[in-house]
């Protein structure tokens, strides 16, 4: 076993010890060695393919690590991935196919908000546990109508609160807002305005951008002409970086503030100059190489950052959410128990609903009243400096 695989196996075995003990077989019972089948519906082509690729890489790496760890009580994870082409209709077909396969324990859905919201009814009717990486609040709320759906992504209200605190700290009272033209963008605008009203921050102009847009100069010009002190960009990575460049071309020289969904690659590449000194709310794992690993959780995040970077040549901010989704499902499968060789989807759902862990993304807490598990404490403030994201000092 290589040093990398050995170190990873030790860390994973420690993390999973408590859950695997509950899944051990006693009294001569037959040990369950059937694979844990996790299905993934991802945006591997189309408008959101960039993030979808990062999710796939993270899923494959995490599954490889867990399978090599020896912590799955003699079982292995079998990952099955389908491309939804960034299309809600195709995504729904994938969900139906996965649900009808009795071997599938649970589904992981990617970052497409419309796909996730559109699949909620089917997921609940099929009674298949599903962990969604999209950010829209309607993915997991109201809980009574989403018993089988769980969300692992920053929440709009938490992002809005963190951005408002930073704007107040910088004594900024007039802003422009560029948001995505989808459920999460509309939710974000509402959450921001609620926080801004309390902080006496005025939105001078607002514009929206679609996920398929490849240029946003018109919207940037509208926002720049309103002469705000700062622009808040609430959009996916590709559109966020397009907007940063477009606003600079439009003559805007004020501060840029980005929502967590804008997190993409650690290194900004061609967008570095336009985004220089921009502020983004996101999880600490994105810049964990700036953090001293003083706790086991921080050490695990640093190891994940290093493993992902070593494997893929760079780091993508959202990768940790996908890895945490695999961990949650694996833990739930082991704790749910049930007859050997049979998938207990209801048992997995029940375990997911009370899951707690210090994940790679940060603290995660699911409850019967809250299926959106990422805690507000997971968020911190990052700044773009010299072509990459850094921890804000």
Q: Looking at the structure, do residues 182 and 195 belong to the same domain, yes or no?
A: yes
Give the pLDDT means over successive 10-residue stretches in the chain (393 positions).
42 42 44 93 94 97 97 94 97 98 97 95 97 96 97 96 97 97 94 98 96 92 97 95 95 96 94 95 96 94 98 97 98 89 94 97 98 96 97 88
Residues 298 and 285 in one domain: no
Return d(Cα 269, Cα 376) in angstroms, integer. 29
Write down the pLDDT at residue 30: 67
Tell me whether strands 202-209 and 230-234 are parallel, antiparallel or unpaired. unpaired
Element (H, E) at 319: helix 319-336
- Whether 97 and 17 map to the same domain: the answer is yes
Residues 143 and 187: their CA atoms lie apart, in Å, by: 17
Range of 232's domain?
A: 156-289+379-391
At residue 36, the pLDDT reads: 97
Q: Both 43 and 98 in a single domain?
A: yes
Same domain, 9 and 146: yes
The answer to whether residues 252 and 387 belong to one domain is yes
DSSP structural state of residue 382: E
275 and 323 fall within a common domain: no
Same domain assignment for residues 61 and 198 = no
Give the CATH number of the domain where residue 255 resides. Answer: 3.40.50.2300
pLDDT of residue 351: 98
CA distances from 56 to 42, 284, 320 (A): 7, 21, 11
Interior/surface letters 312-325, b for 16+ CB within 10 angstroms, e for the rest: eeebbbbbbbbbbb
Instruction: Answer whether 108's CB lies under 8 Å from 89's CB.
Output: no
Mark whether 137 and 246 lie in a shared domain. Answer: no
Count of domains forming the chain? 2
What is residue 258's predicted lDDT score, i.e. its pLDDT?
A: 98
Q: Are residues 385 and 239 in the same domain?
A: yes
Quote the pLDDT of residue 6.
41
- pLDDT for the residue 387: 95
pLDDT of residue 29: 55
Residues 386 and 239 in one domain: yes
Q: What is the pLDDT of residue 32?
A: 83
Tell me how many degrees the CA angle 113-118-124 measures, rounded to the nearest 5: 115
Give how far the C-alpha of residue 292 lies from the chain's centroid of Cα atoms, to the nearest Å.
23
- What is the Cα–Cα distance from 140 to 147, expressed in whole angstroms? 8
Angle, vertex CA 306, rays to CA 305 and CA 310, nearest 5: 120
This prediction's pTM: 0.91
């Amino acid at each position: 076993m290589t040093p990398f695989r050995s170190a990873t196996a030790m860390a994973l075995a420690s993390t999973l010890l408590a859950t695997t003990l509950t899944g051990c077989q006693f009294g001569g019972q037959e040990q369950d060695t059937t694979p844990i089948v996790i299905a993934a519906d991802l945006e591997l082509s189309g408008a959101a393919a960039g993030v979808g690729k990062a999710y796939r890489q993270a899923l494959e790496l995490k599954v490889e690590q867990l399978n090599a760890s020896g912590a799955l009580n003699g079982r292995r994870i079998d990952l099955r991935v389908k491309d939804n082409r960034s299309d809600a209709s195709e995504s729904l077909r994938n969900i139906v196919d996965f649900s009808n396969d009795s071997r599938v324990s649970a589904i992981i859905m990617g970052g497409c908000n419309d796909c996730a919201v559109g699949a909620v009814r089917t997921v609940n009717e099929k009674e298949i546990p599903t962990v969604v990486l999209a950010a829209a609040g309607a993915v997991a709320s109201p809980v009574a109508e989403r018993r089988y759906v769980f969300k692992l992504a920053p929440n709009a209200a938490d992002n809005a609160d963190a951005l408002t605190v930073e704007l107040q700290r910088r004594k900024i009272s007039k802003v422009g807002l560029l948001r995505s033209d989808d459920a999460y963008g509309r939710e974000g605008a509402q959450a921001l305005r609620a926080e801004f009203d309390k902080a006496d921050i005025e939105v001078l102009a607002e514009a929206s951008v679609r996920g398929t847009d490849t240029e946003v100069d018109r919207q940037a010009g509208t926002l720049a002409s309103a002469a705000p002190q700062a622009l808040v960009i609430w959009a996916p990575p590709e559109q966020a970086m397009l907007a940063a460049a477009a606003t600079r071309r439009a003559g805007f020289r004020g501060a840029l503030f980005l929502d967590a969904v804008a997190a993409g690659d650690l290194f900004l590449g061609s967008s570095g100059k336009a985004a220089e000194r921009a502020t983004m709310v996101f999880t600490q794992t994105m810049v964990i190489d700036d953090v001293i690993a003083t706790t086991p959780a921080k050490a695990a995040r640093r190891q994940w950052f290093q493993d992902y970077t070593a494997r893929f040549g760079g780091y993508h901010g959202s990768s940790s959410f996908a890895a945490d989704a695999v961990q949650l499902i694996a833990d739930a499968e082991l704790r749910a128990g049930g007859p050997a060789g049979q998938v207990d989807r209801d048992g997995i759902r029940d375990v997911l609903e009370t899951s707690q862990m210090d994940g790679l993304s940060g603290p995660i807490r699911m409850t019967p009243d809250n299926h959106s598990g990422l805690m507000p404490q997971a968020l911190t403030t990052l700044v773009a400096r010299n072509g990459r994201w850094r921890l804000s000092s």
